[in-house]
Structure 1
Amino acid sequence: MTGRIEARLAELGIELPAAPAPAANYVPWVRSGDLVFVSGQIAKEGDRLILGKLGANMEIDAGMRAARACALNLLAQLKTACGGDLDRVTRVVKLTGYVNAAPDFENHPIVMNGASDLMAEVFGPEIGAHARAAVGVPSLPLGVAVEVEGVFEIR
């Protein structure tokens, strides 16, 4: 039987990627009580990294797509943490986004809407609404445009 969230993903035409393996000495997620903390997921579609610096060589729309790609990878990790059942998610608690940005770039929150919008589309407004931080940084691993981490409540 297909779950509600799997059906919603199919309705949106979204196929989650395989959960990426850690790139260094950390685990991709940790469960503590009813919370799952998912490590930062970099902007990657398939085998292709999404590289760029917002305000220098990347436009806001491309940055939003990079943040969305990060969110898809977050969901892939979360699905693993939930034993394959995303219907166990009761709340997207918080997303923190790191935007590779030029010093004068000021639209970090707009870039992060790429990730936030996806959570609302997939989980709906009650479960998908979340607290958030959007931070500009001078560089990110491998030159990616965005990295996003998340905290989720599950049953």
Structure 2
Amino acid sequence: MTDSIADRIAAQGITLPEPAAPVAAYVPAVEVGGLLHISGQLPFDDGQLMTGRLGEDRDVDYGQKAARACGVMLIAQMKKALGSLDRVERVVKLGVFVNSAGAFTDQPKVANGASELMEQVFGEAGRHARSAVGVPVLPLGAAVEIDAIVAVKAG
């Protein structure tokens, strides 16, 4: 399965980055009871934080790219926490927070950037439950932040 996941990641043109370090008093991931809880991940493009507010100075396409970038960082955190993506049994849930103007209502479309990536990388095991909510501001002005719950195989 590792080769399959590695092949899928490569097919998406993704090189997993070094997982982001926490910016406050928390840990990036906690494994307990067969689940890996991953703290919210921010979107980076070529090392630069993707910022802005959807419906104000950013559009849905930008938001989808930011959500995908968050998804890439989630996968990097999975690999670091689990030692191998082979241990991913299923992506259970994504929590997607979109920095949104008051009238913006396309948070689900933005969230698809990460949701589609999970299915592309993990196949059927990447299909998950999800919430996608608009918020007035995110840490460091990020456009999107995503956290995750992942079912893991015993290591």
Identity of aligned residues (%): 51
Q: Deviations over 1:93-115 (max 9, x none)?
A: 00000000000000000000000
Q: TM-score, normalised by structure 2?
A: 0.95
Is there any run of 5+ residues in structure 1 with no aligned partner, and where?
none
Q: Is the 8 A contact 1:99 1:145 kept in 2?
A: yes
For 2:96, the equivalent position in structure 1 comes to 97
2:78 corresponds to which residue?
78
C-alpha displacement of 1:89: 0.6
Alignment match, 1:66: 66
Output the CA distance in 2 between the equivalents of 1:56 and 1:8: 34
Deviation at 1:7, TM superposition (A): 1.9
Offset, 1:11: 2.2
Aligned equivalents of 1:8, 1:55: Cα separation in 2: 32
Equivalent pairs, count: 153
2:151 to 142, 150, 153: 153
Which residue does the alignment assign to 2:52? 52
Helix, strand or coil for the counterpart of 1:77?
Answer: helix
Q: What's the counterpart of residue 22 of structure 2?
A: 22
Does the CA-based 8 Å contact 1:17-1:46 persist in structure 2? no
* Equivalent in the alignment of 2:131: 133
Alpha-carbon deviations, 1:7-43, whole Å to 9, x = none?
2211222111111111110000000121000000011
8 Å contact 1:45–1:69 — kept in the other structure? yes
**Distance across 2 between alignment mates of 1:119 and 1:7:** 14
CA distance in 1, matches of 2:140, 2:69: 16
Return 5+ residue gaps in structure 2 as ranges.
none
TM-score of the pair, normalised by structure 1: 0.95
